[in-house]
Amino acid sequence: MLIRRKRGWELPESAATDEAVFRNRRNLLKGLAAGPMLAAGLVAPHLAAAGEAAAGPPASLYPAKRNDKYKLDRPITPAKYSTTYNNFYEFSEDKDLWQAAQALKVEPWSIKVGGMVEKPFTISFDDLVKKMGLEERLYRHRCVEAWSMAVPWTGFALAKFVDFARPLGSAKYLKMTTFTDPAVAPGQNKFFYPWPYVEGLTMFEAKNELSFLVTGMYGKPVPKQDGAPLRLAIPWKYGFKSVKSIVSFEFTDQMPKTFWWALQPSEYGFWADVNPAVPHPRWSQATERVLGSDMQVPTLIWNGYGDYVADMYKNLKGERLFA
Ligand code: MTE
C-alpha cells in the first residue's frame, strides 16, 4: 500500500518556499568577507531567548568561561532566531515549535550509560554536569536544509564524557538516544517515523576534540526547543547529527541505525559530513542561508573544521561520508 505521508525534509513547504525566494535574491555573497568587525563575539545576541531556560541546580554554573580556541568567522546568531526556528520533530514538523516544546519536563532527568562499558550506570543530569564542569564554545551549525547559525554553546567535551563512561576497547560506536514520551511530544504519535530519535558517532569521532555535549546556550541553560537538558553539537556534520534531549548513551560494535538514515536511506546516511560539492538529491549544498538574515554564503567542506577532522576520514574508502 502506498501511504502518502510527510517525510521529513521533503515537506516543509515553508522551507521550500524560503529556498526558492532566497535563491532569487541578488545578495549572494562571496563569503562573509566582512572582516574583523564581524569577528566572533563582537556582535552580541540582542534579544533574550524564547521560552524558559531549563532551570535546575546547574543554572548557578552559568555563564561558563569561554574557551577562546574555537573562533567564528561570522557574527553570533541572535538568540531570538536560534530559539524560535527549530527542528525538533518530536514536537512538530514545522520550525515554529518552541511553545509546544515547553511541555517537556526536564527535571529530574536521568541519563543511562550502557552497552560495551566496564559497568553500566545511570546518572542524574545535575550530577553529570557537576562532574564534567562547563565551558563555552562558539561553533557554527550547518543544517542539511541549507541554513546555518553560529551559537555560543555551553557544555563539556564529549571526549571527557567518554572517559568517564569507561567504554571497553572493543566498542566502535557511540549511540545516543532522545527521550520517548508521546504524551508530551505529539510527533512521537506519528507511526511512520522510526522513534526514538537516534544518532551515532564512531569512537574516533566521539573522542575528537570538537565533539561537544551541550547543556546551555547564550550563557544560560539550553531552552527546551533547542534540546534541553543535554544535546550534542557536532559542527563539521549536518545539524541532524546533533541529537537533542539525550536520555541514553550506548557503546557498541555495531554502526547505529540513525533516525534519518532509517527513514530515508537514499538521502541520509550515518556519516553526514558537510560538503558543498556533494548535493543533496533534491537541492544544492553549495551555499547556506544565514539564519536571521537574507544572506547566502558559500558552505565550506566540513563546515570549515577540516583542520580538526579531515584526518579521521583519510583511510575511509567507499563510505558515503557526505550524505
Ligand atoms: N534531535 C531530535 N531529538 N529531534 C530532531 O528533530 N533535529 C535535528 C537536530 N537534533 C532533531 C534533533 C536537526 S535536523 C537539526 S538542524 C538540529 O537538531 C536543530 O537544532 P536547533 O533546533 O537547536 O537549531
Predicted local confidence at residue 24, as pLDDT: 31
Distance CA 32, CA 289 (A): 12
Indicate which atom in ligand 1 lies nearest the CA of residue 196.
3
Nearest alpha carbon, ligand 1 atom 12: 243
Average pLDDT over residues 217-241: 98
pLDDT tens for residues 69-125? 999 999 999 999 999 999 999 999 999 999 999 999 999 999 999 999 999 999 999
- Closest alpha carbon to 181 in 196, 200, 159: 196
In 166-314, which residue ranges form alpha helices assigned H by DSSP?
A: 203-206, 259-263, 306-309
Q: How far does CA 50 lie from the centroid of its chain?
A: 18
What pLDDT does residue 181 have? 98
Which of 45-49, 138-142, 238-242, 317-321 comes out lowest in average pLDDT?
Answer: 45-49
Closest Cα to atom 9 of ligand 1 = 240
Q: Say which residue, 183 or 13, is predicted with more confidence.
A: 183
- Residue the block writes with cell 545578495: 27
Mean pLDDT of the chain: 86
Query: What are the backbone dihedrals phi and psi of residue 160, each rounded to the nearest 5 degrees, phi first?
Result: -65, -40
Split at pLDDT 50, 70, 90, the class of 52 is: low
| Cα→Cα distances 130→125, 127, 134, 220, Å | 9, 5, 8, 15
Ligand 1 centre from 244 Cα, in Å? 6
Class of domain 59-313: alpha beta
The closest residue, in CA terms, to atom 5 on ligand 1 is 88
Q: Which of 140, 232, 244 to mutate to test the pocket of ligand 1 (most atoms within 8 A of CB)?
A: 244
Domain boundaries, the chain: 59-313
d(CA 293, CA 162): 37
Pick from 13-22, 51-60, 171-180: least confident = 13-22
User: Which stretches does DSSP call E strand in 87-238?
Assistant: 110-115, 121-124, 135-142, 147-157, 173-178, 198-202, 212-217, 220-221, 231-233
Q: Omega before 221 cis (within 30°)?
A: no
